[in-house]
């Protein structure tokens, strides 16, 4: 199991479009992936479930989220998802 904390950098946080980008990326890995907003002491949610990410995994710019991966490709998953979040989840960073 691996865990990393990452700051949300895109201006609009995790809303529909960035959540979809995150969920699609997470679904591409075989390992279990969870996302937790540690800034607001949120509940860890399945990062492959769009509804969970949008409802309980929401985060705004500046929030810190924790990605946890567990399984055979956990190293690739955590590295890829961390880079995706740090890159703005497909949105332009200000």
User: CA dist 63 to 73, 74, 76, 84, Å?
Assistant: 26, 23, 23, 15
pLDDT, residue 58, reads 82
Q: Annotated catalytic residue: which of 2, 9, 15, 61?
A: 15
| CA distance linking residue 93 with residue 9, whole number of Å | 7
**pLDDT band, residue 42 (cuts 50/70/90):** confident
Tokens of 16: 């529909």
pLDDT, residue 29, reads 98
Above 80 in pLDDT, residue 36? yes
Question: What phi, psi does 35 have (nearest 5°)?
Answer: -130, 135
> Is 15 labeled as catalytic in the residue annotation?
yes
Class of domain 2-86: alpha beta
Domain range summary for the chain, segments of one domain joined by + = 2-86
Tokens of 65: 């989220």
pLDDT digits (tens, 9 = 90+) for 5-34: 999 999 989 999 999 999 999 999 999 999
Q: What is the pTM of this model?
A: 0.94
């Amino acid at each position: 199991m691996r865990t990393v904390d990452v700051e949300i950098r895109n201006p609009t946080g995790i809303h529909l479009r960035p959540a979809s980008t995150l969920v699609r990326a997470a679904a591409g890995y075989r390992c279990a992936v969870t996302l937790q907003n540690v800034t607001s002491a949120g509940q860890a949610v399945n990062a492959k479930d769009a509804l969970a990410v949008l409802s309980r995994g929401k985060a705004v710019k500046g929030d810190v989220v924790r990605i946890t991966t567990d399984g055979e490709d956990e190293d690739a998953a955590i590295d890829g998802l961390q880079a995706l979040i740090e890159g703005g989840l497909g949105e332009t960073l200000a």
